[in-house]
Structure 1
Amino acid sequence: MNLSHPWTVESVGLCFESLNGSCVKIVYSPVLRAPLYLLFAITIILIVYGNLLVICTISSFQQLHTPTNYLIVSMAVADLLLGVLVMPPSMVRSLETCWYFGDFLCKFHSSTDFTLCNASVMHLTFISIDRYYAVCQPLQYHRRITTRVSVAMILASWGFSAFVGFGITFSELKVERERTKELHVNCKGGCLAMHGREIGFTYSIVFYFIPMFIIVSIYSKIFFIAQKHARAIHNYPTSSSVNKMDLKATKTLAIVIGVFMCCWTPYFMCNIIDPMVGHSIPPLLYEVLMWLAYLNAVFNPMIYALFYSWFREKSKLLYEKLYKLC
């Protein structure tokens, strides 16, 4: 993670000076670290505040308790946990270039990171299925996508993600062992993200690109049919079984998926390319792309605020209620 500019690196040392087998520590200049700490801290605060607002707004109003919104709330919980549990230790690891929280918390952090990322992908997949029935089979939507089905989707997303994320880490599964040693993952003060280089290629294909291909395929069909419904609504307002709100919700959630892909695809493309170029991609680039991916958790509440009038109205009412209580 060495940088060529002298103003960025103050010195090079060890994470634990008194221990044998300590990882190398890059000490960045305060000119670089101070603004980055501030930027990362603001990002974390925005993630926690924005997703907490989404959760509280939808939870506080009975008319917003729909199968689609349950999935949105659950995904907001994943983003909230990312901001609370994953990003603060990641901030320290990225800027101090060492892991100071012990081996167990390294495993827990990596497992949680893996779980929350995969949970977001699973939620987006189920949201695309929800939107498919809402637009493509509207007469069957309320019969097939019920609250019980939505809860089952949420439980499946969290259960599968946690089983895989924590199972891989705590079972001590190692892939590319020699490469792991070369990266100094086993030295004191090192902690490699679970969906980093160690299992990056396999993880990227199975848990990201295949689900994204399925999501894009479903949404391609949805928008093909949605265009027909939009023309039907325009020409014959009473002839279409799909209302304008469903079409708008589908477009908004497509934006959520598009932003997710823009944030996360560069990182996973790096995981795909890295083995092909002899693992020569700089670790610093991995750090930058990981933080770009984390930024996705900031954008979702902003998208809801921009495109959902009901979210703006209900969040305003929620603020008024809280103001009266205070």
Structure 2
Amino acid sequence: MDDKDYRQNITIQYCFPDNNASCRKEVRSGPGYFLLYFILSCISVCTVFLNLLVIISISHFKQLHTPTNLLILSLAVADFLVGLFVMPVNTMQLMDSCWYLGTVACYISPIISLVSMLGSLWSLILIAVDRYIAIADPLLYSTRITVRKTVLSIIFGWSLYLCYVIMYLYFDDYFFQFHMSTHCYGECVLVVKYSWAIIDLVVSFLVPCCVILVLYSIIFKVARRQAKAIRTANTVATNKHGAKMLKASEIKAAKKLGTVIFVYLACWIPFYLSSVSVDNLTSSSMVWTVFCWLIYINSSVNPLIYAIFYSWFRASAKYIVTCKIFESSSSSFNLFPEHF
């Protein structure tokens, strides 16, 4: 045996050295990987922290118990799960190629991952519907959108996506969609077959994307039409300042809607383009890893778009960070002082 062969042999590592069926370990180390792990860990922590602030805010303060905020709460819960479970597990698998959490966790992990991401997507759809009704039919909004109806729609969507994920993950013999690769002990690889990729492209991307885009385009047109009508009615010289303020408000709303659509498309399109470009896409491939992390990062950006831009979030976050929510009457704190 020459020196080259000897060096190759001594560098071979196994996930579980005491198990003869153990997979070989592929350790990824070095300054570049260390920096990558640090960045991904920071993203995970920030995702958990920001979404936890949203969850505590809406759950604790009575003033925030509205249908719209319940939808933001649903979005925050989904994104919180992504940051708490999905991101750490994927970071762990980036460090080396082994799966240390056991067979049961191997089958449960994709359920949590997919349901969390689809729950986030369902919440985005409901937020678009809620904003559409609020803009298109504001006089009947309070009667058409109630807390009870909102809670039922959230439960319905999450349940529907849970059934969808379980059906296509674990009814392989009937639908031939997913396959969990566990050829050796310490392996947990999800193989996405082309037939499932097409179905999932329609169910999880094209249909939701079309709904969101159509609704937001209608919202933008209605908002512009209403703003134009108000500006026309306020053509008197004394109301010029109000018209200018309305124009600024219209531009701000348009930018916010544009940000929502752009971030959503930028995070989801690359993954689905890659999923239909190959016959079988595996969770161990670098393409899968990079594009999935784009979707995960969407969970970090969502609280910034839907919550941090609002004054109530900044006020509630201040109360939470300073521990004032532990006061007996904190749930009744006024988060909208400018309204009084």
Shift of 1:105: 0.3
Q: Structure 1 residues 71 and 142, CA, compared in 2 at 3 Å: closer, same or farther?
A: same
Residue in structure 2 matched with residue 287 of structure 1 by the alignment: 289
Residue in structure 1 matched with residue 164 of structure 2 by the alignment: 164
Residue in structure 1 matched with residue 277 of structure 2 by the alignment: 273
Residue in structure 2 matched with residue 3 of structure 1 by the alignment: none
Alignment deviations for residues 180-237 of structure 1 (CA, whole Å, 9 cap, x no partner): 59xx554433323476878333222222222111211121122111110122233337
Q: Structure 1 residues 228 and 97, CA, compared in 2 at 3 Å: closer, same or farther?
A: same
Q: Structure 1 residues 11 and 268, CA, compared in 2 at 3 Å: closer, same or farther?
A: farther
| 2:189 counterpart SS class | coil
Letter aligned with residue 127 of structure 1: I
Q: Does 1:322 align with 2:324?
A: yes
Q: Does 1:213 align with 2:213?
A: no
Shift of 1:30: 2.8
Residue in structure 1 matched with residue 55 of structure 2 by the alignment: 55
Residue in structure 2 matched with residue 311 of structure 1 by the alignment: 313
Shift of 1:17: 5.2
Q: Structure 1 residues 63 and 280, CA, compared in 2 at 3 Å: closer, same or farther?
A: closer
Shift of 1:134: 0.5
| 2:26 counterpart SS class | strand
Contact 1:174 1:198 in 2 (8 A): no
Normalization by structure 2: what TM-score? 0.77
Residue in structure 2 matched with residue 27 of structure 1 by the alignment: 27
Alignment deviations for residues 84-137 of structure 1 (CA, whole Å, 9 cap, x no partner): 122212111122122221221011001111111111111111111111111111
Residue correspondence of structure 1 range 38-117 to structure 2 within 5 A? 38-117=38-117
Shift of 1:45: 0.7
Alignment deviations for residues 17-72 of structure 1 (CA, whole Å, 9 cap, x no partner): 56566545432233233222212211111011000011112222222211111000
Cα separation, 2, equivalents of 1:108 and 1:100:
14
Letter aligned with residue 211 of structure 1: P
Q: Structure 1 residues 85 and 192, CA, compared in 2 at 3 Å: closer, same or farther?
A: same
Residue in structure 2 matched with residue 226 of structure 1 by the alignment: 223
Contact 1:274 1:281 in 2 (8 A): no
Q: Structure 1 residues 324 and 60, CA, compared in 2 at 3 Å: closer, same or farther?
A: closer
Q: Does 1:200 align with 2:197?
A: yes
Cα separation, 1, equivalents of 2:179 and 2:25:
18
Greater mean deviation of Cα atoms: 15-24 or 301-310: 15-24
Letter aligned with residue 284 of structure 1: M
Cα separation, 1, equivalents of 2:40 and 2:214:
35
Letter aligned with residue 318 of structure 1: I
Letter aligned with residue 290 of structure 2: V
Contact 1:111 1:194 in 2 (8 A): no
Contact 1:135 1:247 in 2 (8 A): no
Residue in structure 2 matched with residue 122 of structure 1 by the alignment: 122
Q: Structure 1 residues 50 and 281, CA, compared in 2 at 3 Å: closer, same or farther?
A: closer
Q: Structure 1 residues 47 and 80, CA, compared in 2 at 3 Å: closer, same or farther?
A: same
Instruction: Give the count of matched residue pairs.
Output: 307
Q: Structure 1 residues 301 and 60, CA, compared in 2 at 3 Å: closer, same or farther?
A: same
Cα separation, 1, equivalents of 2:173 and 2:99:
20
Contact 1:25 1:98 in 2 (8 A): yes
Tell me how large the CA RMSD over aligned residues is.
Answer: 3.4
Cα separation, 2, equivalents of 1:65 and 1:26:
49
| 2:185 counterpart SS class | coil
Contact 1:264 1:293 in 2 (8 A): yes
Shift of 1:74: 1.0
Cα separation, 2, equivalents of 1:306 and 1:52:
13
Q: Percent identity?
A: 33
Shift of 1:73: 0.5
Cα separation, 2, equivalents of 1:261 and 1:287:
18
Alignment deviations for residues 275-319 of structure 1 (CA, whole Å, 9 cap, x no partner): 3xx869991121111112111111122224552122222322333
Alignment deviations for residues 215-273 of structure 1 (CA, whole Å, 9 cap, x no partner): 111211221111101222333379xxxxx999977864663353232112211221122
Letter aligned with residue 276 of structure 2: I
Contact 2:190 2:283 in 1 (8 A): no
Residue in structure 2 matched with residue 241 of structure 1 by the alignment: none
Residue in structure 1 matched with residue 298 of structure 2 by the alignment: 296
Q: Does 1:259 align with 2:263?
A: yes
| 1:69 counterpart SS class | helix
Q: Structure 1 residues 25 and 173, CA, compared in 2 at 3 Å: closer, same or farther?
A: farther
Greater mean deviation of Cα atoms: 252-261 or 227-236: 252-261
